[in-house]
Structure 1
């Protein structure tokens, strides 16, 4: 069972973290403004729908922390602040990873229907009938020799 007093304190902490008053917080999670004040005052307990709207609108809020006070807020991954030196190294590493990823994406890959077939050799008697280039927007170009 959720402790209403403790829940209201954690709810207030979320609102303070994002510098929101009850009205703007209610608008952010799409609930009635009176719902916020009733929960903060302890008059009403939060519904599951209310809690899930908070989690959906503010992904940095851990569900278990919001309900039970165990865990952390904001989520640890969201508040990690590297030092300047580590930050520069991390930026460089991220850039290298992105560059490698882009190179892999643009690297030539055989179409699926040819992946398991033997390679054509230059001395083969095969002739090219046509070349078709397909674009991501659904268009194509057809080239005949």
Structure 2
């Protein structure tokens, strides 16, 4: 069962962590402002839909932590080990089909990161 006073404490912690007012928080998760007020005052208990909106809007909020108080906040997702890429030498018989054939030189390499940033490397 959901312990309402403890849930309220966790909600307060989320609001402080993101430095949000209750009304701004309600706008961000797409609920009526009065519903946040009623939850924080203890008048109403959160619905499953409400809890899911919080976790969908704020990835650092772990569902298990929000409901049961177990785990940690902010939640740090486990980073899976990136797959190992094996680079092989091109087959010389297919050098004409290979874009990395010895007749071509690499001018620039650009690496794109998941946060939208990138790094460009050029030969100097």
TM range (shorter): 0.5 to 0.7
User: Deviation at 1:76?
Assistant: 3.2
Corresponding residue for residue 48 of structure 1: 48
Between Structure 1 and Structure 2, the one with more helix by share is: 1
Corresponding residue for residue 10 of structure 2: 10
Corresponding residue for residue 23 of structure 1: 23
Counterparts of 1:77 and 1:47, CA distance in 2: 25
TM-score in terms of structure 1 length: 0.54
TM-score in terms of structure 2 length: 0.63
- 3-state SS in 1 of match to 2:43: coil
User: Deviation at 1:22?
Assistant: 0.4
Counterparts of 1:74 and 1:9, CA distance in 2: 14
User: Deviation at 1:52?
Assistant: 0.1
- Matched residue count: 88
Counterparts of 1:76 and 1:55, CA distance in 2: 13
- Please report the RMSD computed on the Cα atoms of aligned residues, expressed in angstroms: 2.8
Counterparts of 1:77 and 1:55, CA distance in 2: 13
Corresponding residue for residue 37 of structure 1: 37
Structure 1, gaps ≥5 residues long: 79-96, 109-118, 121-145
Counterparts of 1:39 and 1:61, CA distance in 2: 17
Counterparts of 1:76 and 1:56, CA distance in 2: 15
